[in-house]
Every structure is written in C-alpha cells, then in structure tokens.
C-alpha cells in the first residue's frame, strides 16, 4: 500500500515537472522564433514619423532610418526644418550625434545614455541597449490573449540573475501566426509597471508583415506618449558599410 | 557694606582671584571660538550654495523643481514683479533660464548646467563678476559664455576656445550650439565649479528655443532670518496653482539636513566642552574654599551671620564670573575676526576629501554677536552653579573645626 502511494506521488510529480518544462520550453521557443524573425532582417531602410505627445502640446518629426543587424544604425532627421540633418549614429555600444548647424559631432558619454532621446519617451540607452530576449530571460507562457484582433501568446520574461538588463520583468504578447511582437509591458525591479508598448496597424511592407505603428506610454506620466509610425520600409538592401561611420553621417543632409 | 567687603576680599588675594577669573575666561573664550567656527562653517557652506548661486528664494512654474526641463518654463509675468516689489527684505530678483546640457570640447564631454542670465543683474545677486579669474565678463550683447574653472579644466578648454553644448530644448526641440568661451569663473563649491556655464538670457532662449521664457526668478534677501515670512507672503500674492515659491531649504534639503545634523553633533561636543570647563571652574573654587576655611570659621565664630557671609561669597563669584566672561569674549574677538577673513585652510590631502563631498575645504568663523551673548550667558550660569558649593559649605560649617583646619 505504502509503495503504491510513493509510486503514485512520483508519477504526479514527474507529470507536474514535465508539464512545466514543456510550457517553459514552448515560451522560450516562441520568443526565440520572434527574435529570429526580427533579426533575420539583415538590413533595413525606413521612413519613420515620430510623434511626441504631451498633455498640452505635441510635436512631430520625420526621419529616415538605416540599420544593419543589431550593431549598426543611422537615423537622420528630415523635418521639422530647424532640426533637418541632425543625425544619430549607433556603432555597437557607441552613439554619435551630428549637429549640422555647427558642423560638429560628439560621442554621447555614459551620463547621457539615460537621457531622453530627441525629447521622446525613449532614452538614448533604448537605442543601443543590447540583450537577447532568448538568453537573458527565463520565460513562462501565461496564456493566450487577443491584441489588435490578432491571437497572441502572453509570455512573462524574468531576467536571469547575471543578465545586465534594466527591467525586473517584461510581459510580451507575441502574435501566433507571424511571431510579431504586438504588445509589451515593462516592469521595474519593484514589479511596478513603467512602460507600455502597443503595436498596431500590421501591414505588408516590402513583402513582409510588419507592425507599422508603435506607441510607447510611460505609465507614471499621464498624457505622455511617443508614437512611431513606419511609412515606408525596405528590407535586405545592400547598404555599404561606410554608411555607418561618423564621416558619412556628416555628409548626408536629411 | 557687603559689596565693599566682597570687593576687598577679591583684592586681598589677587593671585587667587586672577586664577579663578582665568578659568572662567578660558572657558568663555574657547566656547565662543568653537561656536563661531561651527556656525561659520555652516554659513560658508550655505553662502557658497545659496548666496553665490540659487538665491534664498526662487519662483518657478509649478512642477519645475520636480522635473527641471524647459517644458516647465514660464513667460515673464508683471504680477510676480509686483508681488516681489511689495515685499520687504528682498534685496534682489534676477531672471534665469537654467537647463542641463552636455558640454563638449569634442573629445571630452561633461554634464553641465547652463545658466542664462542678465549679466548686470546677476552680478548684483551673486557677485558673478567678482568670480572672474580670466577673460572678460559678459555684456548684454555677448554671444559667448563663461565657464566655471573646474569644468574648463576637465574639458581642457580656455578663454578663446569654442565649446559645444547639446541638450534638451523647449517642447522636445534639440538644443545645441557652438559658443566661444569669453571668461572663466571660479566657485568655492567644487560641485558648482565643475558644472556651471553662463550665457546671456537672450542667447539661452535662442539655444533652448524657448522664446521669451524663463525657468526661474532667483531672489536674495537683505535679512535671511525673515525667509519663512517672505516665502509665506509671496505664496499668498503669487498664484500658486501656476507658480511655485521655494526657499533654499526646499531646494537643497541635503544641505540643510547636513547642517541640522552636524549642528546636533556639535551641541554634543559643546556639552562635553562645557563639562570640562565646569569642572575646571569647580576645581579653582574648591581650592579657594579650602584656603579660606579658617577665615570663614573666624567670621562665623565672632558673630557674622552665615547668610551674610554666603551672600558675600555669591557677590565675589558673580563678579569674578562676569569679569572673566567679559575678558574671555574680549580676548576671543580678535581670533574670531581674524579667522573670519583668513579662514583655516586644509592641507591638500584633506582638502581633496572635502571637495569630493562638495564642500569647500576652508574653516572660517562667523562673527555673530548672538554667539558671544549666548556663550557668555551659558558660562555665567555655570559660574553661578559652581558658586553654590562655597555657599553650601559655609551653611553647614562648624566654626571650631573650621578654625582648627
């Protein structure tokens, strides 16, 4: 009788452990797939309109963005006229700013990384921060939810102990059909919700499905929002390496 | 009659009198000097921060202090001028545009604080022009900037060089510009000395693209003791749903907290000093009583009332204490004045440690009549408490035994 009980307990235990394992594996694979598809984009050229929304005013900027892998990117402001030609270059962990009116460029020091990027709800750090959603986090599948009319997995990401990430917890909603990231909730170490990222307007751009509108809302600042709208996207172009240099940044005029 | 007796007693044994007076004198002068140094250090710290930079009171757009961006700037409002003009004790008011910026020489970049100001008015408030160590001061039409000495050093720039500024402008504009350095200013506070950059207010408004906007009015007081009252008055006159009126204690809580806690610690040290002083005084009185046992015994034996004798003793000690305290105050005065104008300087090693805490490495004294009066009073009270002993001794003395010694 006693042996039977132990056997029964073991079976239950194995089943329970097994099941969580299977779920965890799934969650990790979903994130991995989503990340792979995003990073599968070798290079990209995009026209983006950024709208900064504040309680009493808002401001719109348009810019062109080039990127190659996760290492290099270049963003050049086109409008408004007074900021035309301003550029940000990311090379690995470095960010350079080109100031056309005074024809000077400077590399942003670490003290500037936590500052707002161009007055938006993004920080300079958001542009350069490099981490792997697959390797730097432990994943749990929390369930399924519909976001913007698309069936999504809801996945919880908790950073692993030695991961150098800023968030204490991240919730991601990944589209089941195309592995698009539709929504993200970013929590600090005290489990307080800090930022909400909402994707919408999934469209086919240059042969791929793409979330063309992203809205970032800081939770503790009511009426604050930054909206990124992608108006034109091209994938996998041959962008010469010289694009992502300080010298080139000085030459382009928006 | 009794006073005459006391006076004669004092002069009868001059050496004894002078020793007792000397112990009071030493006590009073040490206590006064200690307190002057303490308060002087606080005063210097506050002055470095408040009088040389923030002003005692500031008026901002509501919410500015919590989030110091140009988005919380305001347009100049005659109502504020009127409220300030109506108020006594305000000696100056200056407009400012203050914003954080990255200051860069190209290869080296440092976080800095850009202050747009009216060169002439600002100098009246903070004495900015007197802080010039190199180059020339700004005029109303200057396009250049003044850079704090420590910052210029870190950036390896000098008068005549160009400095790049990059920061956040008004309503998400990106602020940047290239400015010739026209002068170098020196600040005692290491914190300010490695942070500040000055330009004219109109230049700052162009730089931040905040046309006609200000971030603060800085106010100085002719009588800082009235600060709380002035703040209260201004808060009733200025619309507090739109503006905030803050004093330096609100703006630099860490400074005022430091002073408060250090002052509490200082009181403890003073307490210990008082104890040592009191026992020193008690020692001399004890000697005096022992010496005069016989005399007291004789006087009581020939019919002198004990109360009268005790009263004579009281007059003697009070006289000695008052003279001692006065002499002590008189002697400490030149020291206090000297170290006020020529403060104690720390050695280099020590100075560095201090400067890392953002404190100027000097110890000046404060010349405050209040300190003299207070300390003199405390020491006088000690003298009176100590004088209880001889009176008590006289009260329960057996004349025969006393005379036998």
- Å from B109 to nearest chain A CA? 7
pLDDT (tens digit, 9 = 90+) per residue, B298-308? 888 898 888 88
B110 contacts A106? CB cut-off 8 A: no
Residue B376 neighbours by CB under 8 Å, 6+ apart: B28, B32, B325, B326, B328, B329
pLDDT (tens digit, 9 = 90+) per residue, B241-268? 999 999 999 998 988 898 899 888 888 8
Tell me whether strands B90-104 and B162-168 are parallel, antiparallel or unpaired: antiparallel
Q: Quick one: pLDDT at residue A44?
A: 87
Q: Are A179 and A34 in contact (CB under 8 A)?
A: yes
- Separation CA B175–CA B221 (nearest Å): 34
Q: Quick one: pLDDT at residue A22?
A: 47
**Domain CATH number, residue A213:** 2.50.20.10
Q: Using an 8 Å CB-CB cutoff, list chain A residues near B164.
A: 99, 102, 104, 106
Q: Are B74 and B105 in contact (CB under 8 A)?
A: no
* Torsion sign across C-alpha atoms A136, A140, A144, A145: negative
Domain assignment of residue A20, yes or no? no
The percent of residues in chain B predicted with pLDDT above 70, rounded, is: 98
Q: Quick one: pLDDT at residue A253?
A: 63
Q: Quick one: pLDDT at residue B225?
A: 83
Domain assignment of residue A116, yes or no? yes
Query: What does each C-alpha distance from B380 to A27, B27, B80 come to in angstroms?
Result: 81, 10, 49
pLDDT (tens digit, 9 = 90+) per residue, B145-182? 999 999 999 999 999 999 999 999 999 889 999 999 99
Q: Is A134 helix (H, G, I), strand (E, B) or coil?
A: coil
Domain assignment of residue A110, yes or no? yes
A119 contacts B176? CB cut-off 8 A: no
Q: Quick one: pLDDT at residue B235?
A: 93
Q: Quick one: pLDDT at residue B41?
A: 86
Number of domains in chain A: 1
- Separation CA B133–CA B147 (nearest Å): 10
Q: Quick one: pLDDT at residue B331?
A: 92
pLDDT (tens digit, 9 = 90+) per residue, B319-378? 888 898 899 999 999 999 998 888 888 777 777 777 666 667 788 888 888 888 888 888
Q: Domain ranges for chain B, please list them.
A: 2-49+256-404, 63-239
pLDDT (tens digit, 9 = 90+) per residue, B202-250? 999 999 999 999 999 999 998 888 899 999 999 999 999 999 999 999 9
Q: Quick one: pLDDT at residue A12?
A: 55
ipTM of model: 0.82
Domain assignment of residue A11, yes or no? no
Residue B66 neighbours by CB under 8 Å, 6+ apart: none
Q: Is A182 helix (H, G, I), strand (E, B) or coil?
A: strand
Q: Quick one: pLDDT at residue A194?
A: 92
Give me the count of residues in chain A.
Answer: 254
Helices (H) and strands (E) in chain A, counts: 3, 13
Tell me whether strands A104-107 and A94-99 are parallel, antiparallel or unpaired: antiparallel
Which residue among B111, B173, B176 sits closest to A102, beta carbon to beta carbon?
A: B176
What is the span of the domain harbouring residue A143? 37-251
Q: Quick one: pLDDT at residue A11?
A: 57
Q: Is B172 on the interface with A (CB under 8 A)?
A: yes
A120 contacts B172? CB cut-off 8 A: yes
Residues B270-280: what's their mean pLDDT? 83
Q: Residue B390 — left, alpha, or beta (φ > 0 → left; ψ -120 to 50 → alpha)?
A: alpha
pLDDT (tens digit, 9 = 90+) per residue, B125-150? 888 999 999 999 999 999 999 999 99
- Separation CA A202–CA A45 (nearest Å): 18
pLDDT along chain A (254 residues), means of 10: 60 50 68 79 89 93 89 90 90 89 90 85 79 84 90 92 82 91 93 93 88 93 93 88 86 68
Q: Using an 8 Å CB-CB cutoff, list chain A residues near B178.
A: 102, 104
Tell me whether strands B174-185 and B145-148 are parallel, antiparallel or unpaired: parallel
B177 contacts A109? CB cut-off 8 A: no
- Separation CA A201–CA A18 (nearest Å): 38
Q: Is B308 on the interface with A (CB under 8 A)?
A: no
Closest chain B residue to A99 measured between Cα atoms? B176
List the one residue out of B304, B302, B322 whose CA is nearest residue B314. B322
Q: How far is CA B164 from the centre of its chain?
A: 37
- Å from B91 to nearest chain A CA? 36
């Amino acid at each position: 009788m006693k042996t039977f009980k132990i056997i029964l307990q073991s079976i239950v235990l194995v089943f329970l452990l097994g099941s969580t394992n299977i779920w965890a594996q799934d969650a990790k694979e979903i994130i991995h797939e989503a990340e792979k598809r995003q990073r599968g984009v070798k290079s990209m050229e995009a026209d983006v309109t950024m709208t900064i929304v504040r309680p009493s005013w808002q401001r719109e900027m348009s810019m062109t963005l080039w990127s190659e892998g996760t290492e290099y990117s270049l963003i050049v402001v086109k409008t408004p006229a007074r900021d035309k030609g301003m550029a940000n270059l990311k090379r690995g962990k470095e960010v350079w700013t080109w100031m056309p009116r005074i024809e000077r460029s400077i590399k942003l020091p670490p003290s500037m990384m936590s500052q707002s990027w161009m007055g938006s709800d993004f920080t300079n750090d958001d542009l350069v921060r490099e981490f792997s959603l697959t390797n730097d986090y432990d994943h749990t599948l929390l369930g399924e939810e519909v976001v913007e009319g698309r069936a999504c997995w809801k996945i919880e990401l908790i950073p692993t102990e030695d991961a150098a990430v800023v968030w204490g917890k991240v919730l991601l909603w990944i589209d089941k059909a195309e592995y698009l990231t539709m929504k993200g909730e970013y929590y600090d170490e005290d489990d307080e919700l800090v930022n909400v990222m909402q994707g919408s307007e999934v469209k086919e751009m240059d042969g791929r499905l793409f979330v063309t509108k992203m809205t970032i809302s800081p939770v503790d600042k009511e009426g604050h929002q930054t909206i990124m709208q992608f108006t034109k996207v091209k994938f996998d172009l041959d962008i010469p390496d010289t694009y992502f240099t300080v010298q080139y940044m000085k030459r382009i005029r928006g | 009659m009794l006073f005459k007796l006391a006076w004669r007693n004092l002069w009868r044994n001059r050496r004894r009198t002078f020793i007792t007076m000397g112990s009071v004198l030493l006590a009073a002068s040490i206590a006064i000097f200690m307190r002057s140094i303490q308060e002087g250090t606080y005063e210097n710290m506050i002055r470095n921060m408040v009088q040389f930079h923030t002003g005692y009171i500031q008026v901002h757009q509501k919410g500015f202090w919590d989030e110091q961006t140009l988005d919380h700037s305001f347009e100049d409002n005659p109502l504020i001028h009127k409220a300030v003009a109506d108020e006594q004790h305000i000696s100056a008011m200056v407009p400012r545009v203050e914003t954080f910026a990255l200051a860069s020489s190209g290869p080296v970049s440092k976080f800095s604080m850009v202050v747009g100001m009216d060169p002439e008015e600002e100098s009246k408030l903070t004495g900015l022009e007197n802080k010039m160590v190199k180059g020339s001061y700004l005029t109303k039409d200057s396009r250049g900037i003044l850079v704090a000495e420590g910052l210029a050093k870190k950036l390896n720039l000098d008068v005549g060089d160009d400095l790049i500024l990059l920061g956040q402008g008004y309503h998400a504009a990106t602020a940047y510009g290239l400015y010739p350095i026209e002068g170098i200013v020196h600040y005692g506070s290491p914190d300010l000395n490695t942070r500040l950059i000055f330009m004219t207010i109109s230049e700052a408004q162009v730089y931040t693209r905040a046309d006609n906007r200000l971030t603060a009015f800085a106010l100085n007081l002719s009588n800082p003791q009235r600060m709380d009252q002035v703040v209260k008055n201004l808060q009733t006159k200025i619309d507090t749903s739109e503006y905030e009126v803050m004093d330096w204690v609100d703006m630099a809580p860490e400074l005022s907290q430091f002073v408060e806690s250090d002052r509490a610690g200082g009181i403890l040290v003073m307490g210990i000093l008082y104890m040592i002083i009191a026992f020193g005084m008690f020692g001399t009185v004890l000697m005096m009583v022992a010496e005069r046992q016989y005399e007291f015994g004789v006087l009581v034996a020939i019919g002198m009332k004990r109360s009268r004798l005790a009263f004579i003793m009281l007059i003697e000690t009070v006289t000695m204490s008052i003279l001692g305290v006065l002499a002590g105050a008189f002697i400490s005065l030149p020291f206090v004045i000297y170290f006020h104008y020529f403060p104690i300087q720390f050695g280099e090693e020590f100075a560095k440690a201090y400067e890392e805490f953002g404190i100027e490495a000097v110890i000046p004294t404060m010349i405050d009549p209040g300190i003299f009066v207070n300390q003199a009073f405390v020491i006088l009270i000690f003298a009176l408490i100590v004088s209880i002993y001889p009176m008590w001794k006289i009260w329960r003395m057996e004349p025969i035994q006393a005379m036998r010694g």
